[in-house]
A and B are shown apart, each in its own frame.
Chain A
């Protein structure tokens, strides 16, 4: 049966066919849909772990216990999980263990575009790279076989264009997992990485990767596609598709396994062509390894090191390097259409994070941000995020700035899911080392940016089961914070009063701002558009300063000020009343006024 599947759906299908016993992940674009789709298969176990390191440990434990296991994450999630990834590479497994790294070249939704094939080399583990959805499914299944055959975790490296592209997949049969499972291993020499044991394991894993390299020469997903001898191209992942598009007649060595490399195959291929190039996204990972073999090769001298490739980029680079004669049109869209108004992503209408950033902007304090929708608090006119690096960084960065003698009161802003992910340890650090950091936990009762995933605070699991709610306020108190307050997200006055009080304190404080994301199904049912009373509005523009996409400029000018009056787009307004609260002339209706009107 043939189906149109995204790469992420195909990985989920491959997991099901491979009989995965335990799957764990933390949501992160572009990886999120892998577990979401896997969880829809019957009788499977999949969970949102509280972070990527936990996800890998969970998968490792399952693989030790003899069940095939997978942990999925975005590329920067592997940084969080790196400690666990590296010990798992040392110990090996009892049943197949696959770590999925979904890289994001071009940073469509990320803080960097690191190339995680490097982690495979770093950990001495194989790296498989599918080039479409069919291979995403097939290589997922094969990754488990290789993991068991070579007693190693396997890194399955995807990129955004694989994860979020759809192409046809021929579905396979499911291999039912063995019933009962094996007894948990009592094998400390292999599974207890104290120095005395680890010293003996290191040569084992060096030998293991050499064995995989020998196998790579016969691996059927490493394939030569013979063509003209003048040009030979080595490629992997989605870059292979661009290579085929731009160089339909060249000889191609396509690598389904990008680490370790099949040296004999590469030598034979290089000897069969006049000029050898590597087309790969981001790092010269394959290129440098080929050059180390002593084989003349070109790659990043032709194709860009940064951003993602596409057929246009590959063609234009090839033309510049004299590989292709045809000049390409030099006019990009910018050249043809001139500078156009940007359309950056913004906090949605009714976003419960908006009042907090409006107040932070008013208070003019330095704000250290974190990863989530609320990072968009940096966009004007709110302009109230001043640093943001990675998951969980906000609180530690604020603490460090204070300890450095920064004279201002530092604020850290972190979401509920991000706090569970990596905010608790730095908050304990603030308490332990005593800095008057004001931490704001923006609790919108969901993991928002990645599209509404459950987390330890929501009372639901990935499989839709009820779960205990980890309450934030008792948790924060247990960390040793004495100044803690929870206020409703749309209560502008309470947020302002509490923050004004907290930035005067000489001790750590935490403000928890709670309101469900306005896009949650239950919240949508409460949407009621508000109205501007044109006779009361004098065009003071204060309501424009909350940066709500639902507040527009009216055509009507105020007679005195000659400034445009405000207008609310009824199709966008959710009735959060934040604008109504800050309007000094009561020119915006509150909900009761709207709800009384006959429909």
Chain B
């Protein structure tokens, strides 16, 4: 099993990156790793770009993932995925939510949103492991598109098992336990379904 894991989560304020990274750092702890997480609050929450770092390892020093050293880039929005492509190490996993949130600079017509080919091309230079998941559609079908972040966590758990965690104790239930501790009781069932749907999106 891999000894250290560097995750970079990115998206737009309000998409649930904070919850997702809180889950991820605690999953690491539950799996027996030392773990750290770093994020920035404040102005960036006002519809701006947000990112969060999570690291698991035997002993973790820096809470920040070194540029070009992320094993996993978990992007909740496509433009933010592209903005952070340089964070990924060669051969790392890019897991990208297909949601598009146009920034005002695009709405105003001053700048253009990158097309899918440009995004894919930038990632192809870094890694063959690029996975797209339509978190909003999957979560929406379950009744609440805001659970897209948990759909993505489900997808991430499946990808990690496939690539690096085969045979570890870190099964879906361990993730679900951490998630359930962090969402309101009335949303536990929805989040469980969202997590499972995210896993199936990868497994099939």
Contacts and interface: CB of A to CB of B under 8 A. Distances in A.
A336 B86 contact: yes
A29 B47 contact: no
A343 interface: yes
A4 B27 CA distance: 11
Interface in B83-113: 83-87, 102-113
Contacts of B107: 544, 549, 551-553
Interface stretch (B30-38, B154-162, B184-192, B195-203): B30-38
Contact of A333 (B22, B35, B85): B85
A135 B44 CA distance: 27
Interface in A143-166: 160-161, 164-166
B36 A166 contact: yes
Contacts of B35: 4, 167-168
Contacts, number: 163
B64 A311 contact: yes
Contacts of B20: none
A511 to B, nearest CB: 24
Contact of B62 (A245, A346, A549): A245
Given A166-B22, A345-B45, A345-B47, A161 B67 contact: no
Interface string B15-59: 000000010011001000011111111111111110000000000
B104 A312 contact: no
B172 interface: no
Nearest to B38: A165
A346 B66 contact: no
B9 interface: no
A35 B7 CA distance: 30
A331 B86 contact: yes
Nearest to B29: A4
B139 interface: no
Contacts of B37: 4, 165-167
A340 B10 CA distance: 15
A348 interface: yes
Interface in A337-391: 337, 340-348, 373, 376, 379-381
A334 B36 contact: no
Interface stretch (A198-206, A236-244, A270-278): A236-244
B103 A343 contact: yes
Interface centre among B12, B36, B37, B67 (most CB of A within 10 A): B67
B26 to A, nearest CB: 6
A398 to B, nearest CB: 24
B36 A165 contact: yes
B19 to A, nearest CB: 13
A331 B86 CA distance: 7
Interface centre among A165, A166, A343, A551 (most CB of B within 10 A): A343
Contacts of A341: 79, 103, 105-106, 110-114
A343 B48 contact: yes
Contacts of B38: 161, 164-166
Contacts of A342: 103, 105, 111
Interface centre among A30, A168, A244, A312 (most CB of B within 10 A): A312
B63 A167 contact: yes
Interface of B: 12-13, 22, 25-26, 29, 34-49, 60-69, 79-80, 82-87, 102-114, 122, 125-126
Given A337-B122, A553-B107, 18 more contacts: A4-B37, A109-B43, A132-B63, A165-B38, A165-B39, A166-B25, A242-B61, A242-B62, A310-B62, A310-B66, A311-B69, A333-B86, A336-B85, A340-B79, A347-B46, A348-B47, A450-B42, A544-B107
